[in-house]
Amino acid sequence: MENKVPIVSVVSSFSGLTMPVIGMGTASYPPVDAGTLKSAIVEAISAGYRHFDTAFIYGSEQPIGAAIAEALNIGLIKSRNELFITSKLWCTYAEPDLVIPAIKMSLENLQLEYLDLYLIHWPLKFSKEVSRFPVPKEEVSVIDIKTVWSAMEECQLLGLTKAIGVSNFSSRKLEEILSLAKIPPAVNQVEMNPLWQQKELNEYCKAKGIHVSAHSPLGSKGTLWGDNRIFDCHALKEIAEAKGKTIAQICLRWVYEQGASVIAKSFNKKRMEENLEIFDWSLSVEELEEIRVLPQCKIISIGTFIEPSAELEAQL
């Protein structure tokens, strides 16, 4: 099937890379089995997805690798080059001598020679393998930006990834990277949706040439850390009903109209297809204003995963 996702979202990086504006997310809780995930990825490629977002901690790298191999084998794609694959450096490996081994481990899992984009997952370092959540605060520290980012740059220079970036970084932490980077971050992947609009961060990133990619565009419904507040939002329901669209489509279109790309997760074939059907219509000025004034509430924070620490939060 012909890819119907625009390749218009520019990644302003050392490599001048571009990427599809919608990626399929693969983080799930509770986790799905590898066979189910592999089948969902093959189905997504058939539906037109070309951008897949994974991370070491998701446990989805190996099923994605198997799905890519199957898609090539049955002719859904002719070359790995047709896909855009993002993975992330987990906090346990966020120190300079572990970054390259970590990306190589992800590449082995994915059965790939290179990534299109490699992100620092959080600006945090865990002192050892996580055995429980929330992570004990004594096992968590802020990463050494200078040395870890230098190792990320080396990943790109070695051809292990085409571009590098970050995830869940504030403008303050981005400023630290920009003050010392030889290769600036191409992307900042953050929570962004109509109920957490990230206006200031989005404007900051635009000004610095950093592309914003939105995770949790639907509020991470059905996960340990998410909730249903987006789907329960009366204003979003009214806009969706008036336009004959789903609430998910309204949210995804809103993110797209902010100039960001979006990571949307669904393993349901119908919803996968619906999530791609956002490019032949737009939100009106009045609808955008209704969304602009919605009460804001962040869903995902470091407190979701680690024990409360005012000292640590003050550094982020």
Q: Which residues are catalytic?
A: 58
**Is residue 215 annotated as involved in ligand binding?**
no
Instruction: Say how many Å lie between the first and final Cα of the chain, rounded.
Output: 44
User: With 0-12 CB in 10 A as exposed, 13-18 as middle and 19+ as buried, what is 270?
Assistant: exposed
Q: What is the DSSP string of the chain?
A: ----S---EE--STT--EE-SEEEE---SSPPPHHHHHHHHHHHHHHT--EEE--GGGT-HHHHHHHHHHHHHHTS-S-GGG-EEEEEE-GGG-SHHHHHHHHHHHHHHHT-S-BSEEEE-SSEEESS---SSSBPGGGEEE--HHHHHHHHHHHHHTTSBS-EEEES--HHHHHHHHTT-SS--SEEEEE-BTTB--HHHHHHHHHHT-EEEEE-TT--TTSSS--STTTT-HHHHHHHHHHT--HHHHHHHHHHHTT-EEEE----HHHHHHHH--SS----HHHHHHHHTSPP-----GGGTB---HHHHHT-
Q: What letter represents residue 11's amino acid? A: V
Q: Which pair of structure tokens corresponds to residue 225?
A: 């850390």
Binding residues: 121
Binding residues for substrate: 121
